[in-house]
């Protein structure tokens, strides 16, 4: 696959999966605009990828509507009116029983997992249309497909991402914009480690999770990045409206 000179935007760029996506696109020639609320993480990623392509960092909190609008304007200006690849990867997970999920947490998860992606994509739409071959890849979750106790709000927000992706795929096809979703299962990232740490017996929780995966291991961020790169590439030029599970077979049980 080659992304030579293609302009890509990746949210949640400093995290485990996001950083892997950024590296995957960069190594194949894309000019990547990386968005994240973790300014330190962005600086570290820029330093680590220096000399391996072009990465332009943007510090942004997608939940901050006023602040993010200003970044959207700056991003569109830097792109020069065209965007070829948009990866809505930013997300947040919290383990919380349904009855204890207050409005504050619900709003936080909605903003991080769905509303921010919706608003960014809307802001980028003219630039995506101008590409003539744009691809949007939205990172949903295995929990958009199956339920899990303690994750009602997370499941709901990731389910929204999946339904929205399908609707966009139909609506934007006439503009030569493909829209697909990936649904990662348990991926070995800091976010998953934090979820394990929230359990009374973290080591047991980790082993139980691994035991639920037919391939017998946690996924790596690069496992997800490879699928995202495929869906963003011309190799997937007839693929739109699809949800790709990257979960080691977990949701196939």
Query: Six-digit token pair at 212?
Result: 């639920």
The active-site residue, picked from 3, 58, 154, 196, is: 154
**CB-CB contact of 45 with 26 (8 Å):** no
CA distance 157 to 106: 9
Distance, in Å, from the CA atom of 120 to the CA atom of 139, rounded to the nearest integer, reads 14
Q: How far apart are CA 113 and CA 1, in angstroms?
A: 28
DSSP 226-241: HHHHHHHSGGGTT--S
Q: Can 151 be counted among the known catalytic residues?
A: no
Q: Return the residue matching tokens 């207050």.
A: 102
Q: Which two three-digit tokens encode residue 141? A: 């979750």
The C-alpha atoms of residue 92 and residue 191 are separated, in whole angstroms, by 8
Rounded-to-10 torsion of CA 139, 238, 235, 158: 10
Tell me how far apart the alpha carbons of residues 226 and 223 are, in angstroms, rounded to a whole number.
6
- Rounded to the nearest 5°, which phi and psi values hold at 85? -140, 130
Active-site residue numbers?
154
């Amino acid at each position: 696959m080659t992304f030579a000179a293609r302009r890509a935007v990746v949210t949640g760029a400093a995290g485990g999966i996001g950083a892997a996506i950024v590296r995957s696109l960069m190594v194949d020639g894309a000019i990547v605009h990386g968005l994240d609320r973790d300014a330190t993480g962005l600086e570290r990623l820029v330093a680590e990828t220096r000399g391996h392509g072009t990465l332009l960092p943007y510090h942004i909190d997608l939940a901050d509507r006023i602040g993010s609008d200003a970044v959207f304007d700056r991003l569109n200006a830097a792109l020069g009116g065209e965007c070829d690849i948009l990866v809505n990867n930013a997300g947040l997970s919290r383990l919380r029983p349904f009855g204890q999920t207050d409005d504050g947490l619900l709003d936080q998860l909605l903003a991080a997992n769905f509303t921010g992606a919706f608003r960014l994509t809307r802001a980028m739409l003219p630039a995506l249309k101008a590409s003539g071959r744009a691809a949007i890849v939205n990172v949903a979750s295995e929990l958009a497909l199956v339920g899990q106790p303690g994750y009602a709000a997370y499941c709901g927000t990731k389910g929204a991402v999946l339904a929205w992706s399908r609707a966009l795929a139909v609506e934007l096809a006439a503009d030569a914009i493909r829209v697909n979703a990936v649904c990662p299962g348990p991926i070995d990232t800091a976010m998953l480690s934090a979820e394990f740490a929230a359990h009374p017996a973290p080591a047991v929780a980790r082993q139980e999770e691994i035991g639920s995966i037919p391939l017998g291991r946690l996924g790596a961020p690069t496992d997800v990045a490879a699928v995202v790169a495929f869906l963003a590439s011309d190799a997937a030029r007839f693929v739109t409206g699809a949800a790709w599970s990257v979960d080691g077979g977990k949701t196939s049980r």
